Homo-oligomer: A and B are copies of this chain.
Amino acid sequence: LCCPVLCSGIPDPAYRDYLIKEEMSRQMGGKVPLTDAEMQLNAQLQKMKRQEMGGSQFPPAMHFFQAKPLIERSAVYSFIQRMPKGAALHVHDFAMVDTAWLVKNVTYRPHCYVCFTDDQSVRFLFSLQVPKSIPHCSAWTLLQTLRAKMVNCTDLDDSFIRNLTLFTDHPEEAYPSQDVVWKRFEQAFLVVWGLVTYAPVFKDYFYEGLKQFRADHVIYLDLRALLPETYELDGKVNDRSWTMRAYQEVAQQFITDYPDFLGARIIFTVHRYVCSAVRITEAVKEAMRLQKEFPETMAGFDLVGREDAGRTLWYFREALALPKDLGDNLPYFFHAGETNWQGTDVDQNMLDALLFNTSRIGHGFALTRHPLVKELSRKMGVAVEVCPISNQVLKLVSDLRNHPASELMNDGHPLVISSDDPAIFGANGLSFDFYEAFMGLGGLRSDIRMLKELAWNSILYSSLSSQLKDKAMDMWTKQWDKFVEESLSYQN
């Protein structure tokens, strides 16, 4: 690339075309070859895209809560929904399943108790007897009894759903700051906690989660999981190995029921808000132990929670060095760079994640602000897990056209699109985030080749062994070819 030498007043149109093409070839998907059928389908897709980008309201420029009904009516969204998207690599354990399922199915099960907290939230617990009261909460009431007294349970159920998600018609008023939205976000996990850590529900929830991702045309998940102890109706507590085994068994059962699905692996996550590094040392040790006990299911380790409010990776450096010191290889999948603050200690996390040889970077929202770290991650082949809706709802960015991953896409930086906590954001699977990425981050020119590369990337950068990656690619390719064929015959 050198400065243009112009031979007339008008810049040489051939040189201009060359630069434009060169720019497009650098873009995500820019080097992906298409079959004739794919090109035909692409033409249809681009026509829909141009139409929707010319409309009076552009969903990626709006808050997702307000954009959602528009997206659901979008032809591009319907295309993306039906499209095989590969793997979901950044999803959290208790935000996989539509909250309506939790309320309509789980809370209607017998022995489900509820209490109402002082701050307008709720807690649930399954129990044979009335559970012991907890601070700042009303007495426990059996939901079955409560509902029996009501003529109509819709209001109650709706209030539960409101507690389980952040979804609201007026997000700007409800969540004026990152502090407020994170508080509500973390509270939603407290609400869901008593439901999903009940052992039978735990398994059903995961099965239902896989079902919903499969329905969204996803074939595999790297699931970030807290691996909590679970409880039985009689109060008996199951340990972490039970939880891992439950994931393994449910995934196995699901594959047996649906052979077009590949499975799930677990990234063990612990909270970064801890008082002492000792807790992280223990967690890393536990991760190494689980890796030995469940080598096929255990994918690696990560820290979760609001990055700005927690300890840095460097603070935990001794704990994180442990596997290497012991000659172990524990893959890391660090959340890093989920911040607007620049130059803080937390803002150092992306570099430290790379120095700790992270396999991927969760979010990496701040990556473009760090050109050197960006180069390093590209050279190391570390993909960024971009979660557009999460970043918008948690107030890192408002107009998704300004999402920094737009630049990463245009520069061919390795990345995947994921949904983080779809249930809490009122989304599901991957399609809403794919829509935002395709329309908002990719701009008018990104086309089916970008979508194809995103699906490829999701397999390439997954935690799967190379053998299973091959298998995943085979599965995806079959589904993709079928999708292309059916879409064309449907259109014609």
B371 near A323 (CB under 8 angstroms)? no
Residues of A35-93 contacting chain B, CB below 8 A = 53, 61
Using A368-B368, A372-B19, A406-B342 as known contacts, say yes or no to A321 and B446 having CB atoms under 8 A apart. Answer: no
A376 at interface, CB cutoff 8 A: yes
Contact B446 A407 (CB under 8 A): no
* Chain B residues with CB under 8 A of A371: 23, 26, 407, 410-411
Task: Convert A204-236 into 0s and 1s, putting 1 for each residue whose CB lies closer than 8 angstroms to a CB of B.
Answer: 000000000000000000000000000000000
Interface string of A310-343 (1 = CB under 8 A from B): 0000000110111111000000000000001111
Asked if A9 is an interface residue, CB under 8 A from chain B, the answer is yes
A279 CB to nearest chain B CB (Å)? 18
| Interface locus among A97-105, A149-157, A348-356 | A348-356
- Give which listed residue, B6, B375, B404, contacts A324 with CB less than 8 A: B6
Instruction: Name the B residues within 8 Å of A19 (CB-CB).
Output: 351, 372-373, 376
User: Which residues from B are CB-within-8-Å of A318?
Assistant: 9-10
Beta-carbon contact of B443 and A342 below 8 Å: yes
The verdict on A323 contacting B368 (CB below 8 Å), with A401-B340, A402-B340 known, is: no
In the docked arrangement, what's the CA distance between A126 and B9, Å? 44
Knowing A321-B9, A348-B20, A372-B19, say if A379 contacts B2 (CB, 8 Å). Answer: yes
Cβ contacts A to B, 9 pairs, < 8 Å: A1-B379, A6-B324, A6-B357, A9-B321, A342-B444, A343-B442, A343-B446, A398-B398, A402-B402
Contacts A1-B372, A8-B324, A16-B352 supplied; 6 other A-B pairs, CB < 8 Å? A2-B379, A4-B354, A8-B321, A11-B352, A340-B399, A398-B399
